[in-house]
Amino acid sequence: MKLKPLNLFSLAFILLVVGFTLHQQAGGIHRDLVLSAQKLIGLEFSAAEIDSLLPDLGENLESFESLRKTALENRVLPALRFMPYPARYKPVANTTKAVFTPLPANPAAREDYAFMTLHQLASLVKSRKVSSETLTRYFIQRLRTYNPALKCVIHFTEEYALAQAKKMDAELRAGKYRGLLHGIPYGAKDLLAKKGYPTTWGSVPFKDQVFDYDAAVITKLEEAGSILIAKMSVGELAWGDVWFGGMTRNPWDTTGGSSGSSAGSASAVGAGCLPFAIGTETLGSIVSPSTVCGTTGLRPSFGAVPGEGCMILCPSMDKIGPITRSVEDAAIVYQHIKGTFLSGPSASPVPFPYAYNKDIRKLRIGYLKQDFEKPYPFHVQDSLSLTVFTNAGIELIPLELPNAPDLGIILTAEAGATFDELTRSGRDDLMVKQIRNAWPNVFRTSRFIPAVEYIQANRFRTLLIEDMDLFFNQVDVYIAPSWAGRNLSVTNYTGHPCVVVPNGFRNGRPTSISFTGKLFHESEVLAVAKYYQDKTEWHQKHPTGF
């Protein structure tokens, strides 16, 4: 049979098929893979459409491989940065300084410092009834005594702490007083870098990691005169209360965990082993352990506290805040760690016109009516919390949060990107928890989130931010269950501030109630929470055995 000569069209088609084949063999990408993969993203393409996809998918893979040749440090932020501002937002211009409860002129000397508030300790230090060195040694000893039971400390910073304490005492003798945190010991969640000491992130792959710089918050607290005495345990890579040293324990019931991921910070403060500690929250990591351990926690507005030097998990959701004994303690610490919102030429100041004696009757206070009416574990305690306001003649405005789709892929995708190298290297196998509901599996799952869906989720997030802006036309502050409803999730995605305080007990363990307010209006949220705390005594209860 005589073969016909090939025309140009036929030749081009053959070359295209050969090119496809070679590309598929080189990259391992073929039609069957796409047919299977499209089911993972809920889409369906025709055979012709898939054939057109193949060379581009191969090019994408080459791009991925090119990016992976260069290592990225955890502290590198993406060029796309989250701004929680609604379209109509105007930065708060209030420059009024915070006013705290005046210190007594002649405080009574005491030797049992364990459960004193910052206000009480500050009055003793300023009057030189107790030295910073004495306080520092006292709390280091308490931590060493109870840490075997609580597993709340990853590393002590004793040498640094004692040197700083002596420096603070010398300054005070010379007449220099830095303020309410002068000479006060504290602990920091081990996501925050302290130069010369391990910063482990609670995780086996990073347990020997040491940085040559201090986190911005630690620098700010040092400038305020506070003394870092320990790096506190953190659920591995900021999830839960399990780290490579075991499970951090709840001081109210040491058979159980302290929740997380600010596990050690809340546990130690709850047990009277620290006057205050620094925690972080992405999706509940200050609110949850504060609830379990009976402490007061402040989750500031997104960006209100500088994050430099702190482990990044989810760049558009991570927040740093204090865990303390009282609302005013939280206000005192926040005053010293807040900064400018983000950085660069568009940075906005963070106002804080806190007043210890603010008349909250001038504020509009609401509550999430349907959430409080549903059956849930803290229902009795939360209902009684509302009566503290209504019995005082304060009208609570019934509210409902705006609706929004599930935005969970935002956290999953960003966390997966942050720990991309950990997944690709296989070192995630070293992590303690290897169950489905733990980071190794979540990081792997994140690889199957399309970039388009991540962007779409953030577009819906924009709509939620706008809806919350309209929502706050009705109130200044609102009350919400800490562990029921959507408030914890919604406000972590929108970046709004929250204060959580103890409000009772259930089965021998603390319960809590949450107060939420407008962006960068921490002073109002703290004022309402302080009003509640001044009318109750739950924050003055302490676990036995400590």
Answer whether 266's CB lies under 8 Å from 289's CB: yes
DSSP 394: P
CB atoms within 10 A of CB 201: 27
**285 is a catalytic site residue:** yes
C-beta separation of 501 from 513 below 8 A: yes
DSSP string covering 282-314, please? SSSTTHHHHHHHT-EEEEPPTTSS--TTB--S-
**Separation between Cα atoms, residue 68 and residue 30, nearest integer Å:** 23
269 touches 286 (CB < 8 A): no
Peptide bond into 385 cis (omega under 30): no
Which amino acid makes up residue 290? Answer: S
Q: Which of these is catalytic: 226, 285, 290, 301?
A: 285
Q: Please give the angle made by the CA atoms of 281, 286 and 288, to the nearest 5 degrees.
A: 115
**Tokens 């590393």, residue?**
155
Q: Distance of CA 376 to CAs 208, 281, 350, 396, 511, Å? A: 42, 23, 36, 21, 12
- CA dihedral over 126, 356, 399, 513, signed as positive or negative: positive
Q: Which of 259, 261, 446, 514 is catalytic?
A: 261
Strand partners, 324: 296
| First CA to last CA distance, the chain | 98
| Dihedrals phi, psi of 432, to nearest 5 degrees | -65, -50
Residue 261 bears catalytic tag: yes
- Look up 151 and say whether it is catalytic: no
Hey, how many other C-beta atoms are within 10 angstroms of the C-beta on 94?
13
Q: Which of 189, 358, 518, 530 is catalytic?
A: 189
Find the length of the chain: 546
Q: Give the C-alpha separation, 356 to 344, whole Å.
A: 33
Q: Based on the number of CB atoms within 10 Å of its own CB, is 155 exposed (0-12), middle (13-18) or buried (19 or more)?
A: middle
Catalytic residue IDs: 189, 261, 285
